[in-house]
Amino acid sequence: MLLSVVIVNYNVSYFLEQCLKSVFKALEGINAEVFVVDNHSVDESVRMVKEKFPSVNLIENKDNVGFSKANNQAIALASGRYVLLLNPDTVVEEDTFSTCITFMDSHPEAGACGVKLIDGQGNFLPESKRGLPTPAVAFYKIFGLSRLFPKSTTFGKYHLGYLDAEGTHSIDVLSGAFMFIRKDALEKSGYLDEDFFMYGEDIDLSYRITQAGYKIYYHPKTRVIHYRGESTKKSSINYVFIFYQAMVIFARKHFSPNRAQVFAFLIQIAVWARAALSIIKRVLLRIALPCLDALTFFGGTALLKIYWAQKSGIYYPYIFLWVVVPLYAIIWTGGVWIQGGYDKPYRWLNGVKGIFWGTLLILVIYALLPEYYRFSRFLTLVGAAWACLGLILIRTLIHLVFYRKIASGQILGKRILVIGKLDEANKILNIIHYSSEKPAYTGIVYPGKIENLPYGYTSDTSRLNDLVDIFKINELIFCAQSMGSGEIMDYMILLNKPDITYKIAPPESLFIIGTNSIQKDGDYLVGLNAISRSENKRKKRLLDILTSIFFLGLSPLLVVFFRSTYFMKSALNCLAGKKTWVGYSGKNASAHLPYLPDGVLSNTSPFDAKNLDDEVKLQADILYAKDYKIINDIRIIANSFSVLKRKN
């Protein structure tokens, strides 16, 4: 056996599928085996691998054992002369494996090699080549000197910025995303250290390989897309703690006690500084726009009240301005949040919907209040009109100030070119048009140069750069069935336009992978109102909370009449987020459906007595996920009350 490919997966089914497709394409003509170690994913990754890649050696862990231990499970079984440790959020070029094998065969002193990594925008990732993080090197990185002087031979050692990214070099540390290792070197140096749960294990293993007498090389003659910038939230507190604590483990293991103590001290400073900055930044980013909206709603309504009071001579009490109007602003802002008005890209239409529903709530409350608390229905309606106008003005201002950085939905729509053969490209456009996205422009580009352009194409790729400029394209989608990974990478790098989002559509899939896909279940999921949309997740969660509170309030009566604590237990589980009141129909949910917690009820619960077969339940799950409506959940709960009564 020449090569063993090892991939550790945890809840990234969409990336894993695309990765495996590129792997098998690159393995053509190579005697190889592929291992996937799943760390107890809940997103149907295991089912996807079994159904679509039956030749994969699948290891199913019953819990998340960490990156190092999972890799070691497969390495112990690997029979290849070379072992590749590969991240699931990668796409390899067609010649990647053959290039690495040829290089390693011609360099017997090499224990391992890495390749040129690029991100989802085609940008070079500096972690493709790294130096050993000694205390001095760590100090330069922690305090930003390596970023200020990336090409300095003193300060730039962490990412070896002074080495040409296009040249082959002997380096200290490989990226854990792609580690092409000689099996003999692994046996001599030892496998991954399982003290490293996540992060740092690549540094430790690289160091031990060099200590075993081998060299490590950076070889940029082939490329790999790595969505690391998107799959790892580097600003998160959790990432900061885990990553830097991994550095401490490495220092204590390999450095002298004094050096390790200094290193640990620097790490602690870095952790708390980064954590504090991360918290402050996150809070400010989350509250900035809602606070601006609330102040605008309050200020405008207050000014309207003052103007109307002077014009009409009507007296409004102190409580109206300083209690009622702020409550209006809070309700309107809450409505905008529930309707997804604060989800990026910002869409003013979602905000207007939120204000509309908030106004209805205000009017309902108004009608129920005693007469002496009903101050002015007119000002409520005029204030709502101002809130809508103010919201649109704010979104327009954001668009003007942060153009090309923050899309404002209706103001700046997506302008998309799909590069691929007509049939596949049309399938992709159908996915987009049937999703929640409504692009302002779409076109199809033939993959290659052609003399007589067939009907249906905008142009061919020889004029791609001109097409992007003429039609102001801000999203390019490559059809993987029509183009090779290397060709896709070439276009991403040649265009070199930072304001364009690049995405890849895997063959025979209902999703499209892009730089932000790690935050979703595929960038576009077939569906008019997919359950994966942020506003639908919020609505579903809100319904779970309200339903749970309702059943908890009734629990004494339910226990007495039905002699069961099932309602109470279910309500507590739903409040904690461990379950949802309405979920999929058991374990048969498709691998291409967004994740939901286990349901107390399923979307087919009202029909349980009919003994529906698995195929019918699967279709019901797809329909439920692709066009979610909160009213359907309410109906399912109401119509399944008899089902709940029977459960213990």
- pLDDT value at position 411? 41
Candidate from 223-227, 273-277, 405-409 with smallest mean pLDDT = 405-409
Above pLDDT 70, what percent of the chain?
82
Residue ranges with strand state E in 101-214? 110-118, 169-171, 178-182
Predicted local distance difference test score (pLDDT) of residue 236: 54
Distance CA 495, CA 501 (A): 11
User: Between β-strands 215-226 and 90-92, what pairing exists: parallel, antiparallel or unpaired?
Assistant: antiparallel
Highest averaged pLDDT of the listed ranges 113-117, 433-437, 564-568 = 113-117
Stronger pLDDT, 245 or 6, i.e. the higher one:
6
Cβ neighbors of 490 (< 8 A, separation 6 or more) are none
Q: Which amino acid is at 623?
A: L
pTM for the whole thing? 0.66
Whether residue 570 has pLDDT greater than 80? yes
Q: Count of alpha carbons within 13 Å of 577, Cβ hemisphere only?
A: 5
Closest CA to 208 of 180, 186, 184, 179: 186
- Name the residue type at position 561: F
Chain segment 484-528, per-residue pLDDT in tens = 888 998 888 888 777 788 888 887 666 677 765 544 445 544 444
What's 283-322 look like in SS3? HHHHHHHHHHHHHHHHHHHHHHHHHHHHHHCCCCCHHHHH
Q: In whole angstroms, what is the distance from residue 63 CA to residue 40 CA?
A: 5
Mean pLDDT of the chain: 83
Helix (H, G, I), strand (E, B) or coil at 174: coil
Residue 145 CA to residue 139 CA, distance in Å, equals: 8
The token pair that represents 136 in the structure block:
């001095």
More confident residue, 317 or 528: 317
Residue 638 pLDDT class (50, 70, 90 cuts): confident
Question: Structure tokens of 464?
Answer: 């791609």
256: three-class secondary structure by DSSP: coil
Q: Which of 215, 220, 126, 206 is nearest to 174 (CA)?
A: 206
Query: What count of other Cβ atoms lies within 10 Å of the Cβ of residue 265?
Result: 12
Closest to 630 measured CA to CA, from 618, 638, 641? 638
Token readout for 333 is 């802002």
Q: Is the pLDDT of residue 615 over 80?
A: no
Are the C-beta atoms of residues 86 and 5 closer than 8 Å to each other? yes
Chain-centroid distance, C-alpha 206: 29
182 touches 111 (CB < 8 A) = yes
Taking residue 428's Cβ as centre, other Cβ atoms within 10 Å add up to 23
Q: Is 472 exposed, middle or buried (0-12, 13-18, 19+ CB in 10 A)?
A: exposed
pLDDT digits (tens, 9 = 90+) for 25-78: 999 999 999 999 999 887 778 888 998 999 999 999 988 888 889 999 999 999
pLDDT(303) > 90:
yes
Does the pLDDT at position 408 exceed 50? no
Q: What element of type H or E holds 324?
A: none
CA–CA dist 367, 1 (Å, integer): 78
Range in 56-60, 458-462, 571-575, 591-595 with the lowest mean pLDDT: 591-595
The secondary structure of the chain in percent helix, strand, coil, rounded to multiples of 5, reads: 50, 15, 35
Reported as a pLDDT band with limits 50, 70 and 90, residue 586 is low
pLDDT of residue 609: 53
Candidates 104, 112, 126; CA nearest to 226 is: 126
Position with higher pLDDT, 546 vs 529: 546
The pLDDT of residue 647 is: 66
553 touches 460 (CB < 8 A): no
Q: Which residue has the tokens 């159904």?
A: 51
Residue in 20, 28, 127, 30 with CA at minimum distance from that of residue 82: 30
Residues 6 or more apart in contact with residue 448 via CB below 8 angstroms: 460, 461
What is the Cα–Cα distance from 265 to 582, expressed in whole angstroms?
A: 49
Quick: pLDDT tens for 239-262. Answer: 556 566 666 666 666 666 766 677
The structure tokens listed for 223 are 């490329």
Q: Kindly calculate the radius of gyration of the chain based on its CA atoms and give it in whole angstroms.
A: 28
Please report the domains of the chain, with CATH numbers, ordered by start residue: 3-129+165-229 (3.90.550.10), 415-519 (3.40.50.720), 534-646 (no CATH)
CA pair distance 621, 527, nearest whole angstrom:
12
Provide mean pLDDT across the span 155-180.
Answer: 90
Per-residue model confidence as pLDDT tens digits over 411-425: 446 789 999 999 888
DSSP H helical segments within 563-613, as ranges? Answer: 566-575
Measured in whole angstroms, the distance separating CA 262 from the mean position of its chain's CA atoms is 36
Point out the least confidently predicted range of 306-320, 326-340, 465-479, 556-570.
556-570
Element (H, E) at 466: helix 464-470
Q: Where are the alpha helices (H) located in 566-626, listed in sequence order?
A: 566-575, 614-626
